[in-house]
Amino acid sequence: MSINDPTAITILVFIMAGLVLIQTVGLLFALGKLSSQVRSAEQSVVEIANVIRGRVAEANALLKYLSGMQTRLEDLASHSNQLIDATGDRIAVANDHIAGLLELATGKVDESGRSVEYVLAQFMRQTTQLTRQVHHPTKRVSAVLKGVQVGLKTLLSRERSVPTQDEEAFI
């Protein structure tokens, strides 16, 4: 089957150009959506990173405080031979206080670990979403473009292989 009518060929070319234009607009829309999602994911990661920074600063302050407590306890231990009777009760109180601080520090470290796990889970979820929303549609668009290309090649090769009226009269 061949198309010898130039008007029909012109219409088909315009239809093909319109389809390519529609496809281009769709692709631009998908890229715009992807861009906004990447910005949203980046903002989420920045917010989570700020939370983690705050938790790390709290943990550092607590560790600094505990380090200072450790230094004070070492000084107290060096003088304990002379003051053991007078300071026995104070050491017990200090040990209880340090135990509470260590429990608090352990809680903060656990909480920071959960925050990091949450950030990683969010990052993985965002990456998966981006893959689904960019990679899969891109594959589909590529398949459609390949189909159009094969169709055009087939159509053009058929038009070249059809003998004209002069060739038919000669035969």
CA 130-131-133 angle, 5° bins:
65
| Cβ within 8 Å of residue 101, ≥6 positions away | 62, 65, 66, 69
- pLDDT the model gives residue 123: 81
Amino acid symbol at 148: V
| Average pLDDT, integer, range 73-92 | 69
pLDDT digit string (tens) for 20-54?
Answer: 999 999 999 999 999 999 899 889 988 998 999 99
pLDDT class of 91 with cuts at 50, 70, 90? confident
Structure-token pair, residue 7? 């008007």
If you average pLDDT over residues 93-101, what whole number do you get?
Answer: 83
Question: 127-148: string of b/e by CB count within 10 Å (b at 16+)?
Answer: eeeeeeebeeeeeeeeeeeeee
Residue with tokens 């159009």: 148
pLDDT at 166: 59
> Residues 51-70: what's their mean pLDDT?
87
List, in order, residues 6 or more apart from 87 with CB less than 8 Å away: 76, 80
The CA distances from residue 52 to 46, 56, 127, in Å, are 10, 6, 20
- Cβ atoms 48, 121 nearer than 8 A: no
Q: According to the model, what pLDDT value does residue 164 have?
A: 57
Residue of 132, 117, 124, 135 whose CA lies nearest to 41: 124
pLDDT in tens, 113-165: 888 888 888 888 888 887 777 777 788 888 888 988 998 898 888 766 655 56
pLDDT at 10: 93
State both tokens at 140: 């589909």
The arithmetic mean of pLDDT across residues 66-73, rounded, is 79
> Whole-prediction pTM value?
0.32
Tokens found for residue 54: 């705050």
Report residue 13's pLDDT band, with 50, 70 and 90 as the boundaries: very high
Q: Are 109 and 60 in contact (CB under 8 A)?
A: no
Q: How confident is the model at residue 81 (pLDDT cuts 50, 70, 90)?
A: low
Look at the chain and count its residues: 171
Residue 3 in tokens: 């198309």
**Residue 163 confidence (pLDDT):** 57
Structure confidence at residue 87 as a pLDDT band (50, 70, 90):
low
Q: To which H or E segment does residue 134 belong?
A: none
